[in-house]
Amino acid sequence: MTSPHDLIEGFHRFREQHFTDDDALYRQLIQDGQTPRTLVVACCDSRVDPALVLNCAPGDLFVIRNVANLVPPVESRGGGYHGTSAALEYGVCTLGVEHIIVLGHADCGGIRALIEAGGANNPESFIDDWMHLVEDARASVERDMPNATLEARTLACEQRAILGSLANLMSFSWIRERAEQGSLTLHGWYFDMENGQLLGYNPATRLFEML
Ligand SMILES: [Zn+2]
């Protein structure tokens, strides 16, 4: 299902499902507004749509998608357009989500390219500029496992990048305060699409474990 024609047909099936009955889901969502309890930061990768992977309905998830599912650290405004930070602010401060999930995934093109190139080196590339957010994770992988295969280093970097994003989430005062009060919980998840499994980071074992 890739052409615009297919997509329009897809919309009509979606409309049939959610708009035709008096108790249709969208009537409720319009009446009550959106009240998602969970915000997900996911990759743009076409294979990892969080609503599909997590089997959610419209209204369930507030979703931020960007290259490699990264969260930048808090920065002063100005000098850039902070789309991810703005969406985090809306989800946390306005919608009051109770959970933030950073959803990484296997075979991430952004991370693999970073590992292959040995860093984000192209000053002309928006992607390379963005991927500087993963530099600490990349450098730690190269330091800790220099002789591992490209696949193993990519996987390690994908998972360490999730931990970097969790740390960066805590740099926003309105996230840190809520997390410390217990009204907001942060999660690091990893969709292993090669094996069809979902893993979650366990701070006690410092491992990603099957959920
Ligand atoms: Zn990706």
> CA 11 from chain center: how many Å?
25
Q: Quickly tell me which residue has 């969208």 as its tokens.
A: 26
Distance, CA of 132 to CA of 153 (rounded, Å): 17
176 Cα: distance to centroid of ligand 1 (angstroms): 26
Residue 105 identity (one-letter amino acid)? H
190 Cα: distance to centroid of ligand 1 (angstroms): 11
Q: What is the DSSP letter of 145?
A: -
Position 110 scores a pLDDT of 94
pLDDT digit string (tens) for 49-99? 999 999 999 999 999 999 999 999 998 877 788 999 999 999 999 999 999
127 Cα: distance to centroid of ligand 1 (angstroms): 12
26 half-sphere exposure, CB direction, 13 A CA radius? 8
List of domains in the chain: 1-32 (no CATH), 34-210 (3.40.1050.10)
154 Cα: distance to centroid of ligand 1 (angstroms): 11
pLDDT digit string (tens) for 9-39? 999 999 988 888 766 888 889 889 999 999 9
What is the value of pTM for the model shown? Answer: 0.95
